[in-house]
Structure 1
């Protein structure tokens, strides 16, 4: 009889696990879909606590999945695929775009006419070459970041310069001995802005988001930046709103995201639905509507300066809203309310898809070390496994454990109490 009882026994070994890998050797899965390359590089640098300076000419959207790669391996793959080089100096990585543009420009047979072939050519380099070949003094804003693609033959100088200026959003002012290119001012009919008593009023009609961000930054003494690939026009009207509220309204009405990255630093990026996230004084606030959970996890990792690793299956739009929760409490609320499992190992957080059915939930409060279980027709081995994961323990379950938990709802129980309740009435023990 005793041997028979032993044959039915579940042996649960609970051990703490630590990872002995250095940052450079740490291997992780990387899964990005239609993500700005700058965001990916920042996430990589943040995950390894490294400093990285990125050339603004490194641009693009990336979609890839890399399995168990180190930081260096991932960086090498991205550099080869997206055309940039890098150099490490002390603790800083310098990333530089490799030449991938084409600038062909030569005088045509007719006087002061030119044939040009430009492919993704930086406007600054185009104007420099045109100035040298035409032997004319051309002054232009060095911060212009537009890439130009043109193919023309036997074009007069004035026509060519006009086309380049139009592409770059510049206006031409001719003077006696030089030509000056200036940033086109936004028409007063298209934009009016007021900043008084720390309240923003804005009436914008079909205005470039980049130009608008610069003007708001100058007017409100803050920094509002946009993603490198964000080239869109926006329209909005509001009066006497706080800066953050006004920026949120601007983004929400134009299908954009607003991310607050500091007290007076905001970043505007492309998106769908609505999304705002803030991590200040160790407290997390999120408001998301139909936003992919992977994007939310990436933004939490970036703002909180932590590593959050997740499987490829961790994806899908979610809607959630909470304010000023401790980091781990907020993470668990985000993850576990959407049928995922959160683990913490060696200073990093891991998110996996829960093996439980959608109508079964396991909540864990790390501060009180207590569980809340809502189980309906849940597999006993899967429940036991999820419990162990949440407290960062190992568990060994014999393969003949195949019971189903039909219905269990409890709150405020310890791990041992949860095991006892789950195994009560079964032929198993621990």
Structure 2
């Protein structure tokens, strides 16, 4: 009798312990469930366009994305601060980081990506991409690759802004020059510019001054920056050719600053322009500020035959390394960047381009690009697709903005003064000292 009572007590004790364990496990599971369901995501972004283009509805896309996200995660709150301009964005974000209030989700301008990735502000997305088996092949690879740092993916591309060339087709036809251009070679570009400068009794120009030394280097497939060695090379044979091209263009223009106003007056053959500018000034009501009395068409930037020299700007979304809600933040940026319907809406409402091949190649995008008629909107979605497939983004390293500003100042001054050949080595030395 005593043994049975003792046995019953032991069984009762184990039963109580088992119930306690089960209750704790259930409580933890319920707690995790409600914690996941009631999370708040904070989002950092700036108002309006990433490309300084006019935007009448600065919160349209983010509000639409939040509304769509809430349909899948109704108990997740998403908060953001309004009124932050792109100009003030990095200072505002830096203040948040220093104060320990880094937002969970961060819009990353391309010029700030390297700093954010190298300083540990962003977290690697590789584990999320792998676990969710995200199909990254639908992204344009130049854009996806530019969001990698030390072999890891730190952001997903959201919007792109490729560079193209518009040209005065009427002017070229008038003087018997090639007027059906899709991918002009650098030799064709230089020859047209030189021939126009020689027209007697007329002040005509080959290109606006927006075509710069970096465009010339890209035309000859030269990348002066060596990121791995943290050095710049301005004495290569290709860069020398680029400088010779710039010297010829300066000579053709009489060292004059050839503005876009001169292009609008019909006196210039070529003008480099980014997609956001192009879409802005070929759409109502902004097209009235740039109405032409001549036929305008567009083409790729000049380059060596069989190559591309398209430059692309971009913006991306990343996740803060300090975020306590990384999984939910991932779900949000994955939707922003890879959701077909949302990216198609971005294509229609923004002045930039979607980063997805399927969106750019769609009939809906073809309609978007032609909605104002072929006379004012000659770019089609297949041309845009080619720009994004073959384009390149600027090198990404922390000092890039400082270095490029120095190069622009020194090289432009040397070209204007006519002593660039003797100045190149000193400019190269000064930049490399800055990169040490």
TM-score, with normalisation over the residues of structure 1?
0.19
The structure with the greater share of residues assigned to strand is 1
Structure possessing the higher relative contact order (Cα contacts under 8 Å, 6 or more residues apart): 2
The structure with the greater share of residues assigned to helix is 2
TM-score, with normalisation over the residues of structure 2?
0.19
